[in-house]
Amino acid sequence: MLVLLAGIFVVHIATVIMLFVCTIANVWMVNSLGDISVGLWANCTYGNCNGNLSYGNEDALKTVQAFMILSIIFSVVSLVVFMFQLFTMEKGNRFFLSGATMLVCWLCILVGASIYTNRYASGSSTSFWSESHHGYSFILAWICFCFSFIIGILYLVLRKK
């Protein structure tokens, strides 16, 4: 049981780190040559990033930014609550609060990544380039989506022994 809790803890920390990276890094979409990338906060050309997004004033982008920041907050809160429950909770109880908080994080990632996928992942509304592919930030966001769901469900199922 201790090994399982330690494994979940390590995956949870990895998820928090990946959420930070995917939200901060400006590599959500990359052109086919790899020299231009677009993120949530800036355009990057040949390694030089500026804050001038051609679609920066759109409500959809601001919604993605807000939900990705909320997902980081809920993931960190869930980790702190898990640590608190691990040392203060009575034996036999479940980690309901940690699981519920992590599932809220999961929903925030779902909303943020889905809106970005719908509005910007095709590259057509960015008026950037015709041939592009997803960057590592976009892929990390969807990996965090999967991990946060698994962690949230495991927290709800596990009992402290």
**How far is 73 from 48, CA to CA, in rounded Å?**
29
Provide the whole-model pTM.
0.87
Q: What is the DSSP letter of 4?
A: H
Q: What are phi and psi of 160, to 5 degrees?
A: -80, 130
**How far is 85 from 72, CA to CA, in rounded Å?**
20
pLDDT, tens digit only, all 161 positions of the chain? 778 888 999 999 999 999 999 999 888 888 877 678 888 888 888 878 777 776 767 788 899 999 999 999 999 999 999 999 888 877 767 888 999 999 999 999 999 999 998 887 765 555 555 677 888 999 999 999 999 999 999 998 887 66
The domains found in the chain, sorted by start residue, are 1-160 (1.20.140.150)
67: Cα separation from own chain's centroid: 9
